[in-house]
Structure 1
Amino acid sequence: MLTSHEKEQSTKRTDVRLIDCDVHCYLHSLDELIPYSDEWLQKMMNFGKFNNDFLKNQTAGSFDFPKTRYHNPNHVLRLDATTPNGGVPGSSPSFVIEDLFERFQTTYGILNVGHGTMSSYHNADVTIAYSSACNDWLYDKWIGLDERFKMDMVVPTIDPQATVKEIERIGKKSGVVGINMQNISIPLGKRFFWPVYEIAEAYGLPIVLHPDSEGSGEYAPSQFIGPASTYMEWHSSLSLVPQRQINSLLCEGVFERFPNLKFVFVEYGFSWMPHLMWRLDKNWKSLRDEIPWVKMLPSDYIRRNVRLATQPFEESFHPKDILTIIEMIKAEDMLVFSSDYPHWDGEYSTKIFAHFPEDLKKKVLYENALKTYRFSSGKED
């Protein structure tokens, strides 16, 4: 929750433009999807029987989005971001504009659905139909309202052919700037996903990875050593996911095969990257005969193909230590700003970048995202 001082500070206009790569939008009710759904999907998801705030206790037999088995004992959303009419935080486009964009002077905010992407859902047909309905709802309700809203389309990750069809259906629409492809139990480097990467690269759309249902559901990856016992333990272990996925993408040759495709890891932090880069570089020098398709230093591929959102910003004992990490691995072009609005641990003040040189601040807050996501012209307006 923002203090009055933080709100006052955030209203001050920055001297650089800003692209927020992780703004969460929510359904207030499943019934919002009725205009975009056929009768079969409405029946499968119990539309019309679920008119209350979906965060409240649900009645027996009603549909529930797949979600992690862990919950924040306070709340995962900022309760001070509840809409003026008492709606779910992030469910009102006009209030997001007022509560976030106007205070940050946001140039563009990239929307990632917060209520669930269904990538770990057990019924592939429901996942496919829901993804299309959700994308149409998101485009009509949000993108059409204000040109500052952009969106990462959701896709049925468990079915790559259906994912390709959904990208073909809406991937060239103005305002669609990325593909939100959540984690499932198949490592991202596997050839299972290559048809998706081929069309994503052709369309100029980055692949976005964001926490959703890790640790639960039949399609969600475990965190290697078994389930956590608490939300604290689970939340603090999320950085294991991008380390494993980047390792897979690199070693399977995805970065070599799709040199222009960017992978954006959102809400995983970034201070773990030196270890991953250095370990991959060291092992490649001795084991590259095993993966001859990896022709450059792994760290060079990672700098070219991987982008990391800044939230959660790991605050060290000495603020300048984070800057040292960035300089050590030459990550100046890899970082993109994200607020994670309206989550409890979001970044609601750019003062965390106070120690950054101005040229680096401009890259992180605006320029890197402009070059990574597929904006209308690919150039600054």
Structure 2
Amino acid sequence: MSETLQKLDDNMEEATGFIDCDVHPYLSSLNELVPYLDESVQRRLQIGRFEKSLLKNQSNGSFEIPKSRYSNPGYVLRVDAVTPNGGVPGSDPDYLIKDLFERYNTTCGILNIGHGTMSAYHNFDLAAAYTSACNEWLYDTWVKKDKRFRMSMEVTPMDPKLSIQEIERIGQRPEIVAVNLRDTQIPMGKQHFWPIYELAEAYGLAILVHPDGIDVGAYSPSVPVGPASTYIEWHASLSLIAQRQIMSLVYEGVFEKFPHLKFVFIEYGVAWLPSVMWRMDKNWKALREEVPWLKMQPSEYIRRNVRLGTQPIEEPFRPGDLLALIRMVNAEDMLLFTSDYPHWDGDIKNRVFLQFPQEVKNKIFYENAKATFRL
């Protein structure tokens, strides 16, 4: 491309805007949550003056946020994103603004908590207290810092009543654009979650689904078929979770019951979408009397109500095949750009979708997110 055409191309992107739908802030320490927790919870989490650092390496000696069963042989967080003072990548709002937002001329970024959540934790009350503290920490420390920040709020998916209390408490803050409903062992189409969906739809919030509880906690779902042996096997299996959840949502009638509710699946990739749509439609044609509440083909519900974060984008041998695959199912309006900063497998705006025409990139980089999150 000539220099003149490159400038024209860049100007088109700048004129449209750029929304990053998956930016991960991190706690530098659990002690950052102390101001948001009463002493009884601090004692149970063993933080602040109740910290048991002497016993932290002993079994059951001190509390730890549930962690993944699988260890990345390199680093989960990018070492080039370590903060100037040597802190955890993603723990310094000022540095993240400089390293990500200013570098890519970001119009708006949606913050999704990166450190461990307690979505599948067995003590629901403790999980709810921790979740509320994390939401307030994210709002105070990050969202108030820059007008370009928006956030998803965490809830306690194993207990809908506690989730509803949290949504009612903060869900109408204008900077909150989604409910982050982490995976648990309960399929998302089940009526267990419907009270959460009803309130989210009423508040105009999307439901964001992001890997976290899928491999930690007593109520985490197993990877299909059974546990993986290695990190690479577990990571490659993530897309199967999204496929299963979408099937549950469609066939259980969630999108018929809540037609205006958007579900955003982030960090599951996108290339599997056509096969899921085709398979579900084919089965519905023969078995539709089993799900009489469905008024449309499954693919129509998916196209209307489901959105997919692009990261980690698949990379076919022939780059143009990805665009062809997306167009096979008219999914251009379903994709949202997600950098996944500061994770090791994040995608960079300037290196992704090189084969895509500008009008499709504008949708992925800006228009689709603006509509999905009502920005």
Q: TM-score range by the shorter chain?
A: over 0.9
Q: Percent identity, please.
A: 59
Tell me what 1:68 maps to.
Answer: 68
Q: Give the residue type in structure 2 aligned to 1:39.
A: E
Tell me what 1:162 maps to.
Answer: 162
Equivalent residues in 2 for 1:1-381, closer than 5 Å: 14-15=13-14, 16-48=16-48, 58-60=56-58, 61-375=61-375
Structure 1 runs of 4+ aligned residues shifted over 6 Å read: none
Query: Gaps (5+ residues) in structure 2?
Result: 1-9
- SS of the aligned residue for 2:24 comes to strand
Q: Give the residue type in structure 2 aligned to 1:77.
A: L
Structure number with the higher helix fraction is: 2
Q: Tell me how far apart the structure 1 counterparts of residues 84 and 275 of structure 2 sit (CA, whole Å).
A: 45
Whether the aligned pair in 1 keeps the contact of 2:19 and 2:337 (CA below 8 Å) is: yes
Task: Describe the superposition over 1:140-180 as per-residue Cα deviations: whole angstroms up to 9, x where unpaired.
Answer: 00010101111000001110011011000000002101111
Query: Gaps (5+ residues) in structure 1?
Result: 1-11, 376-381
Pick which of 366-375 and 316-325 moved more. 366-375
Q: Give the residue type in structure 2 aligned to 1:340.
A: D
Q: Give the residue type in structure 2 aligned to 1:110.
A: I
User: Relative to structure 1, is the Cα distance of residues 134 and 59 closer, same or farther in structure 2, using a 3 angstrom cutoff?
Assistant: same
Whether the aligned pair in 1 keeps the contact of 2:239 and 2:268 (CA below 8 Å) is: yes
User: Relative to structure 1, is the Cα distance of residues 51 and 40 closer, same or farther in structure 2, using a 3 angstrom cutoff?
Assistant: closer
Whether the aligned pair in 2 keeps the contact of 1:334 and 1:368 (CA below 8 Å) is: yes
Compute the displacement of 1:51 (Å).
Answer: 8.2
Q: Tell me how far apart the structure 1 counterparts of residues 33 and 286 of structure 2 sit (CA, whole Å).
A: 53
- SS of the aligned residue for 2:142 comes to helix
Q: Tell me how far apart the structure 2 counterparts of residues 352 and 49 of structure 1 sit (CA, whole Å).
A: 47
Whether the aligned pair in 1 keeps the contact of 2:42 and 2:50 (CA below 8 Å) is: no
Task: Compute the RMSD of aligned alpha carbons.
Answer: 1.7
Q: Tell me how far apart the structure 2 counterparts of residues 211 and 47 of structure 1 sit (CA, whole Å).
A: 26
User: Relative to structure 1, is the Cα distance of residues 268 and 50 closer, same or farther in structure 2, using a 3 angstrom cutoff?
Assistant: farther
User: Relative to structure 1, is the Cα distance of residues 311 and 243 closer, same or farther in structure 2, using a 3 angstrom cutoff?
Assistant: same
Task: Describe the superposition over 1:269-325 as per-residue Cα deviations: whole angstroms up to 9, x where unpaired.
Answer: 010011100000000000000000011010000000000000001011111100001
TM-score normalized by structure 2?
0.93
User: Relative to structure 1, is the Cα distance of residues 51 and 315 closer, same or farther in structure 2, using a 3 angstrom cutoff?
Assistant: farther
TM-score normalized by structure 1?
0.92
Whether the aligned pair in 2 keeps the contact of 1:31 and 1:50 (CA below 8 Å) is: no
Compute the displacement of 1:215 (Å).
Answer: 3.2
Whether the aligned pair in 2 keeps the contact of 1:30 and 1:51 (CA below 8 Å) is: no
Whether the aligned pair in 2 keeps the contact of 1:142 and 1:149 (CA below 8 Å) is: yes
Whether the aligned pair in 1 keeps the contact of 2:43 and 2:50 (CA below 8 Å) is: no
Compute the displacement of 1:374 (Å).
Answer: 3.8
Whether the aligned pair in 1 keeps the contact of 2:117 and 2:213 (CA below 8 Å) is: no
Task: Describe the superposition over 1:101-124 as per-residue Cα deviations: whole angstroms up to 9, x where unpaired.
Answer: 000101111011111121011111
Compute the displacement of 1:354 (Å).
Answer: 1.7
Q: Give the residue type in structure 1 aligned to 2:167.
A: I
- SS of the aligned residue for 1:308 comes to strand
